[in-house]
Amino acid sequence: MKLAFSTLGVPGLPLPDVIRLAAEHGYHGVELRAHTEEPVHPGLGPDERAEAAAQFKAAGIEVLSLAGYARVAAPGDDEPVLAELYALLDLARDLGAPYVRVFPGADVHGQAPDEADATAARRLGTAAEHATDAGVRILLETHDSHRTAADTIRVLGLVGHRQVGALWDVMHTWLGGEQPSETYAALAPYLGYLQVKDIASADDTTPLPLGTGVLPLAECVEILSRHGWDGWLCWEYEKRWHPDAASLPSLLDAGRDHLARLLNDSA
């Protein structure tokens, strides 16, 4: 398996510094938060995109994914959501990223679950053709209104397109009460990659160094290894939302070593 980290852990850091951190600390790739607060976002022009792609290529660091914020199950018109999706897909294509992350984002108080599922599936199915042309896969993250695999596959089963899959965020499936074996069994046909992290408890989701919290990381990695899955593990350290958390760069070596131990133990 390959290792990456998310730029959510180093908010606003210039791309050369992000690339340097990945190279110096032994990570194969980076998940880029695609937001106007960050150096990479859909507003970049062609020259800026080409320069960013060249920097990653020169350093031998892969752009794993663009972490976008489109909410595919949210109520409202389809067109703004589709426009956001298309812009993310085009940016991913230009940067050579194989994946774009999206959220469910249903209104759990204002939408019936089947309505939200149908809305998400319709938008994802429509965007799938654009994704095919771009050579990029859209991944629906286990998050917010659809935090478990059981929730997520209700949507993916309706879409039924190879360019639409799932991103497994281990915190959200755990918070949803799902066992890793259940999550993997449901997501296996759709799985793009795994987001790892650690927290103190369900009531305190401040990011912690990997292996120092309560999330079942060892069990998740063991299940993936046992089934011969050979994709990406991406550390999403949510420093952006928890400014008092420890600095990610100071934790990168220990995090890489912890993931390496989990992989060795499960081999």
Answer whether 226's CB lies under 8 Å from 184's CB.
no
- CA angle 106-31-11, nearest 5°? 85
Answer whether 257's CB lies under 8 Å from 213's CB.
no
Q: Among residues 65, 108, 107, 66, which one has the least CA distance to residue 84?
A: 66
Answer whether 64's CB lies under 8 Å from 99's CB.
yes
Burial grade of 187 (CB within 10 A; 0-12, 13-18, 19 or more): buried
Task: Tell me: pLDDT of 267 over 80.
Answer: no
pLDDT given at position 31: 98
CA atoms within 13 Å, Cβ hemisphere of 11: 12
- pTM of the predicted model as reported, rounded to 2 decimal places: 0.97
Task: Tell me: pLDDT of 218 over 90.
Answer: yes
Q: Which tens digits make up the pLDDT trace of 3-14?
A: 999 999 999 999
Q: Which tens digits make up the pLDDT trace of 140-163?
A: 999 999 999 999 999 999 999 999
Answer whether 83's CB lies under 8 Å from 47's CB.
no
- CA angle 54-59-60, nearest 5°? 100
pLDDT given at position 33: 98
Q: How far apart are CA 184 and CA 135, in angstroms?
A: 25
CA distance from start to end of the chain: 11
pLDDT given at position 266: 80
Task: Tell me: pLDDT of 265 over 90.
Answer: no
Q: Which tens digits make up the pLDDT trace of 40-57?
A: 999 999 999 999 999 999
Give me the residue spans of the domains in the chain: 2-266
The CATH code belonging to domain 2-266 is 3.20.20.150
Q: Which tens digits make up the pLDDT trace of 220-262?
A: 999 999 999 999 999 999 999 999 999 999 999 999 999 999 9
Q: How far apart are CA 202 and CA 251, in angstroms?
A: 22
Q: What is the mean pLDDT of residues 20-38?
A: 97
Q: How far apart are CA 130 and CA 122, in angstroms?
A: 14
Q: Which tens digits make up the pLDDT trace of 59-88?
A: 999 999 999 999 999 999 999 999 999 999
Three-state secondary structure readout of 89-149: HHHHHHHCCCEEEEECCCCCCCCCHHHHHHHHHHHHHHHHHHHHHHCCEEEEECECCECCH
* Mutual angle of helices 180-187 and 217-226, in 10-degree steps: 40
Average per-residue pLDDT for the chain: 97
pLDDT given at position 51: 98
